Amino acid sequence: MALIHCFCTLCIIFLLCFEQISAACKTVTVDKSGRGHFSTIQSAINSVPSNNRNWHCINVKPGTYREMVVIPYDKPFIILKGSGQKKTKVVWNEPYLQAPTFSSLADNIIVKSIAFVNSYNGPNSKNARVPAVAALINGDKSFFFRCGFSSVQDTLWDATGRHYFKRCHIEGAVDFIFGNGQSIYEDCSIRYLGEALPRGLAGFITAQGRNNPRVSSGFVFKSCHIYGKGSTFLGRPWRDFSRVLFYNCRFSNVVNPRGWNAWNSVGEEKQLTFVEYKNYGPGAYKSKRVKWLKNLNARTVAKLTSMSFIDNDGWLQSIPVKYF
């Protein structure tokens, strides 16, 4: 109970952080109508000094910003704050992995209430289905709160580093959460867009890229809602030691009864760590799951679902309340 109390207290602190913005954090406003300091998000990011050590807050007013946004490696300590997933959207329309709508390459980045969309394979699109990344997260210590990520294939590239996604919405159809990140997704809605695929073809939610057993990366989904149309596997391995845990999640009947696909790791399934623990809903029954689904003991599951999995050095707790 003490652990639960501490965790709940930490969540309350995070929520309070987002309601308070102090003058101690240099703040600029982006407004596409021209009534702010900048009319594009990228120009506001460009104004942040390289290798800065102080938080810079960028408030983004409602609107659809049709631009490709990049936070470069040398611009840490940036806070992007929108007005809500439905009000503040960043939209781009290019395929393949080289042109994400949003690329976050620096450490210590916080984003709240913004949706990132790659519309290349969106509704009514006649383009061929290819990777079209909505967001690439490649820096360490990144926190996303109430953000949206939308595409069809390779939506969210959770590439490397420790990341925390809280109350976010992520949607796609093929490998739409992928990469080698060490991340916790908590209270997120995961929507499978089966209507974007040919009839009868199943999709894949995750493609995690852990490549050896000594690497600490993995995707942990806590108290998330998995839903949509069609049939999807929970994941397939992008690398031979892929690690994904779904914990206390609600599964609709969109989840394929087999649950997981070995893909290029056929014959090496023992190296995979695909785990389901205390999930519920019509898609959570495991009677027809693949035989190599991993069973972890409660202690190991507790370690993976603890905030220490992504925060063993206190970076989340060190986010100063006064800067929000």
The residues annotated as belonging to the active site are: 154, 175
* Gyration radius of the chain's alpha carbons: 19
| Chain-centroid distance, C-alpha 201 | 24
- Measure the N-to-C terminal CA separation of the chain; round to a whole number of Å: 29
Cβ contact 187:224 at 8 Å: yes
Cβ contact 59:83 at 8 Å: no
CA distance 257 to 266: 19
CA distance 279 to 300: 16
User: What tokens were used for 196?
Assistant: 């974007």
User: What tokens were used for 197?
Assistant: 């695929």
202 Cβ neighbours under 8 A, 6+ residues apart: 230, 231, 232, 233, 256
| Residue-wise burial string across 133-167, b where 16 or more C-beta atoms lie within 10 A, e elsewhere | bbbbbbbbbbbbbbbbbbbbbbbbbbbbbbbbbbb
CA distance 131 to 138: 17
